[in-house]
Amino acid sequence: MIKINAAAAIKEVGFADALRIANSTGTKLVWLGNESTEMIAGFLNVNSEMVIRMDPRKVYSMESKEAEELSGHVLVCYHGNTSMRVAGFLKEKHGVEAYSLSGGVTAVAGEVF
């Protein structure tokens, strides 16, 4: 189920929807943490090619053209808070629609960190 966070109109998705979105649109799960994409793919039980890593601080200095490359991707963090903030920033500053994984990796894999 896709939930819309009313405060910023951010699309928050559960894991099943995140996989459906990524598989049907060719987008990725964008890991916003420090761990390797291989480690996160293992926790999520997905192919490592489905996960890319991005430093969330980089987003705040992106030009609009670069930010547009994140359109439609699912942002993933530890507990869902950073991905919500980054998705909100992308929407507010650049008009880019990205999804946030509800509850982050912890909601899917449990307390692994």
pLDDT at residue 111 tops 80: no
Please state the domain count of the chain: 1
Is it the case that residue 1 has pLDDT exceeding 90?
no
Q: What pLDDT is stored for residue 8 in this prediction? A: 60
The number of C-alpha atoms within 13 Å of 31 and in the hemisphere containing its C-beta is 21
Question: Which stretches of the chain are DSSP H helices?
Answer: 15-25, 37-44, 56-59, 64-68, 81-89, 104-109
**Partners of residue 51 on adjacent β-strands:** 29
* Average pLDDT over the chain, rounded to an integer: 91
Domain span at residue 105 reads 2-109
Paired tokens of 76: 């993933």
Q: Looking at the predicted structure, is the pLDDT value of residue 90 above 70? A: yes
User: pLDDT by residue (tens digit) across 54-70?
Assistant: 999 999 999 999 999 99
Report the CATH number that the domain containing residue 25 is assigned in CATH.
Answer: 3.40.250.10
- C-beta of residue 70 within 8 angstroms of C-beta of residue 29: no
Look at residue 107 and tell me whether its pLDDT is greater than 80.
yes
